[in-house]
A and B are shown apart, each in its own frame.
Chain A
């Protein structure tokens, strides 16, 4: 019985993440349009796109890895969703919250991109490979400030468990973003790269690389990548809320907090041009790393 309930809870979490992630995607398109002084598509546009992609034929493949690539990235998204606590106290969305810690999460989160890189590699399109080398290089860039922020958190709370970090924040009543501001700044700057909005969107530059890694994937492949991307966006936002904003007590607060956070990369992206890869790497190793160092010093000495 308990097993069935657990499975139901897991499915509910996935549905929630999918819905929220896809809606956010649509809302972002709407907001971008409003900033451009356009009407923009309706907020549910991404659902329509997904539904259409599901109905599209997938007539060709370039080999077995192209099938496994989207599966890899979906697995990575779902497993990291299972580990990240959605709400304070777990409840329906508890899943595997106690099974892993921050370091485990860091590694499982790169499982997907690497799998997708393999899938895109097999298509043989040179543009895909170029996009992937850019993506992986950029990842090395933003992981440094991100890990520095996480290390600062671990030092400050003396634990690597996400659940414990949330509990301590709730007990003390101070959000991490106020008690450890430098870590928050470093993490948010890393987040700009993580979401791949401008200025860090050279990975899938549409006209230069023909959308890069996904250039050979249409139909169901694209659908899987799109939905896992939405789930992944939700996971990342929830993780940030858990770590820096004390988690959420119910779904409404969660949506408000994640949406507020999400606006940072989105709004920064709308008004930004595009960096070259080495420029973006150097950006991440500049101020964000400095703030990361400050965060660690702050956590050690204060």
Chain B
């Protein structure tokens, strides 16, 4: 850090202001304060002429376009402050930056200061367009930092030498014509050896020009980035500035969760950009997706704060309404699945911690609700008798819909492993479960819960009826039990759905809590479980129900 030391004769206040200027762009200045904001923003040229008695600072398109103000006596400091501010706050490329010494009289301090300001500007600004005309003797060592600083080769340097004060230099000896010499300088400009060889030159002009074709875009980006990260000036800032400031918004967002973040994101583009860059944790605790049928899906999102939203994705309608605490979102038919998965991805994108539960249900509430209970039970009993547990799904085209959904979900889970402590799946097929379970983070997953979709959360009151209907349904879990997720989990609950796989072929020893439903259980099975589970050091409770 550049450390300034004050002595008693030093202008403490000025140093104070300059410190603030450097830290905060506190735009005090001298000539600078006479400029209108428009002039500051559209500065095209800075022309400096100096000798030992005065410094002329001319601003505008051309030196003739003068702002005539005079600062008497101690003019060097104010000049440097002004030049610093002008270059630092330059919004557009300069057509010309010309620095000329009127006489051969050296004011080395001023010259060094100018170079220091330019160097600082070049380092802090990623793109700049400068033409520096100098008709002064200049030691290369002074300007070397400027020339060496050329990130990404963005600048092209042309140094024009008309004469050399180095008597040892013999251009002819180097077999170089002046034009070729210039080219050579251009091509070798990044090699500092050139300076060691040629020593001190009379430098007549330096042209730094941006060779980046996307110059304007990159400058816009830089400006926009700066405005978001910079410390705001209390005098001129608005709430709008506050809502797009990364530091302040970062602190605000630490106290907000998904729904408030989403609402804040919709207020204005500044807040939106800021939130997207900060990527705040949405604090989702539970994400539940229920496929009711092929034209209606529910998503329920619960947050750590206890807030929740129930969102209905419905085909063939574009109405969005909010009623009784439920958000109904509707989307066009052909994009129903991509839309719900896109929301799922976006909502969880910045989740920094694992969610507590991910629930997926293939339930048929809608059908249940559209029939009387008796009609519904009768229909289901008939379907089950016909040994067609999927009849209802097939008749609704739900099978293909569910397949499409699972395929898309599998793709998503393959690309981004979901971290959830509990998985709760309501379906009747091992193959469907295997499209989800293996892609969950096995280190985080501690509880596995399978249930029949008819016994989903929204059908609880009728579980006993539904269970009777579905007693012929069963679930194979042989492949599931081989997954890493199964092996690392501590809790397994399979409800409303008898296990079809032979118990003795399954390894339950990793579980602390077990609650399963089986078709039949033999004395051999019980003996096997007793033997196996007694070997486990963390086994706590095992409940087997059978039909």
Bind each other: no
